[in-house]
Amino acid sequence: MKTDTPPTAAAGSAISPTVQTAAVPGTWDWEVDVVVIGAGATGLPAAIVAREAGASVIVVEAEKDIGGHAITSGGNVALGGGNQAQKKYGIEDSPDLVFRDLTDWSVVQPNGFPDYRYNDREVIRAFADHSAAACDWLVEHGVVFAEQVPDTRGGISVGNSAPREMHCCAMDWPLVQTGQPVHPSLATVFTTGNGLMRPLEASAKAVGVQILLEHRMTALHREAPGAGRVIGIQVNHHGTTLNIRARKGVIIGTGGHTGNVNFRRMFDPRLTEEYCGLGGMPWSNQDASGEIAAMAVGASLWGFFNQTGEFGIHLTKPGTIGNQYNYRGVRWLPGSPVFDRARASGIVVQDWQNVILVNMLGQRFYDETAGHFTGNTYNGIKDYTYGSYLNAANITYKANNWVNAAMAGIADGHNGGGPIWAVFDADAVQRSHWNPYPPEVDIDGGFFFSANTLADLAAKIIMQYQRVPMPPQNLEATVARYNTFVDTGIDSDFGKPSPAYKIARAPFYAAWATPVPHDCRAGLRINQHCQVVDLNGQVIHGLYCGGESAGGFSLHGLARAVCQGYIAGQHAAAEHVG
């Protein structure tokens, strides 16, 4: 048996992300105290904390680089509870206030959906008690937060009572979106997930954490089927299967399930294959591998409402059009190391007055300027009183149904709504200074089309997710009717405010503008120590989880991932195994 030092696996073919059960091996390829699955915002904090507590640690990462979805993010970290920055700027916060905020049944969005009502109180209590310490720990490990008062930027369902958002500075780390660092003048102003993950990577290596890239976990090993401790994992590295023994614990930080169509449809049957934009892709995939592997050894899922509730940004309106990976918070540019997979940067749309949005049949379905679901943050409810029915009673109702309308489909018996296309003309290109050519748009991938007539444009829209041909007469009629709304200034179909521009001058364009799955709010059931729990409510000893792979928590963003990694690393390192 080898201990602590990983072998070099032979190169081989690529593998499927499918996770299966596997027999406990007779011998192990290597052995350490703690194995962490995923080098993202849960995995690296967990690994560092465990290593500093004296445990030997290996991190396995399926991708070619560390970071997960976190490295592509805006670097907004809502770790309050009385951290050093809050104290510096005189912001009153405490663990009790965090807990109270994140379990308040009375906070609802304008569409009536509650942000915090279905949070697991045991999980929230642990987050509240460790938030400030986790935030200060990040600073101790090289993360530089912007020198400013904690605010609300990037905050979704982070609590109404105090500003808690901290922002990780880009410094001189090359951005994964561009391949280049920001200008030195922006190093401590521009904020990004790079400013979180690269310092943590450096810290992990400095303390002796071993990070194995392109090692995909394919199974968890448990002492017996449905019984005993989790004692290790199976991985695949370029076609070679290897087994790693974990003397104390395995920590799952695989990042959620948005990229696994069948898994995500357990929460929302509408989320069929065409919802392929996926925030954070193509840097890393949320393939549900951690959840599936844990379920295979008996783990329970938890907190489904937080995934299906219509609040926050787990489903979003696209931020760019004409490209597959069109999440509003990430724009891939040609210098990115993954641009060969992203293929296009997309056209940035501002007020949606320069386009109309149509479904597969070439018909409008909603006001194009409408937004997606909203989430609570500091002072989101004025005159807020904890637990008061007036918090909901005083909300002005707003349906906020753009995403639902986009996913409604065309009454052809399918669950998925199909592609949504942004249609515009040459005048829109000129007004907005758009470039309707690669690398801004993805013509070869079938996410952008152009033609000299609307009829020809409709006929050209042929791609894998367009399951029916777009009737040319429908698109022509839709545009003609919309142009009359521009003449009158009133959209009598969907109430778009003051329609501004006709679609009249060739060439005409159709750009992919389909809703985007972004983050995960449901996953494995965990307790206050981030231990995974089975269907009988019993702890599966030796197995931990945090971040987007864990359930019971509606908070968006990096804070829960970092904090739960911090908690999991402490407890895994402290495991006493006889």
Pick from 448, 452, 453, 427: nearest CA to 438:
448
Has residue 90 got a pLDDT over 90?
A: yes
> What was the pLDDT predicted at 338?
97
Interatomic CA distance for residues 242 and 198, integer angstroms: 27
**pLDDT tens by residue, 338-351:** 999 999 999 999 99
pTM of the predicted model as reported, rounded to 2 decimal places: 0.96
DSSP bridge pairs for 211: 59
> What was the pLDDT predicted at 7?
42
The structure tokens 């916060």 sit at 93
User: Taking the CA of residue 231 as centre, how many other CA atoms within 13 Å lie in the half-sphere pointing to its CB?
Assistant: 17
The token duo for 552 is: 């019971």
Q: How large is the average pLDDT for residues 452-460?
A: 98
Q: How large is the average pLDDT for residues 161-182?
A: 97
Q: How large is the average pLDDT for residues 324-332?
A: 95
Contact (Cβ atoms closer than 8 angstroms) between residue 535 and residue 302: no
> What was the pLDDT predicted at 1?
47
Q: How confident is the model at residue 20 (pLDDT cuts 50, 70, 90)?
A: low
DSSP bridge pairs for 55: none
**pLDDT tens by residue, 424-440:** 999 999 999 999 999 99
Instruction: Show the domains of the chain with their CATH numbers.
Output: 76-186 (no CATH), 318-370+421-512 (3.90.700.10)
User: Are β-strands 523-524 and 216-224 bridged in parallel, bridged antiparallel, or unpaired?
Assistant: unpaired
> What was the pLDDT predicted at 23?
87
Interatomic CA distance for residues 289 and 572, integer angstroms: 21
Q: How confident is the model at residue 15 (pLDDT cuts 50, 70, 90)?
A: very low
Give the C-alpha distances (Å, rounded to integers) separating 571 from 34, 36, 41, 221, 550.
Answer: 11, 13, 17, 20, 16
The percentage of the chain sitting over the pLDDT mark of 90, rounded to a whole number, equals 93
> What was the pLDDT predicted at 375?
96
> What was the pLDDT predicted at 4?
53
Has residue 44 got a pLDDT over 70?
A: yes
Please, what is the average pLDDT of the chain?
Answer: 95
Interatomic CA distance for residues 170 and 190, integer angstroms: 6
> What was the pLDDT predicted at 21?
74
Label each residue of 50-69 as H, E or C: HHHCCCCEEEEECCCCCCHH
Q: How confident is the model at residue 22 (pLDDT cuts 50, 70, 90)?
A: confident
CB atoms within 10 A of CB 24: 16
Pick from 7, 136, 14, 23: nearest CA to 80:
136
Label each residue of 462-474 as H, E or C: CCCCCCCCCCHHH
Please list, residue by residue across 235-264, b when 16 or more beta carbons sit within 10 angstroms of its beta carbon and e when fewer do: bbbeebbbbbbbbbbbbbbbbbbbbbbebb
Q: How confident is the model at residue 16 (pLDDT cuts 50, 70, 90)?
A: very low
Interatomic CA distance for residues 184 and 202, integer angstroms: 20
The percentage of the chain sitting over the pLDDT mark of 70, rounded to a whole number, equals 96
Q: How large is the average pLDDT for residues 485-494?
A: 98
Has residue 6 got a pLDDT over 60?
A: no
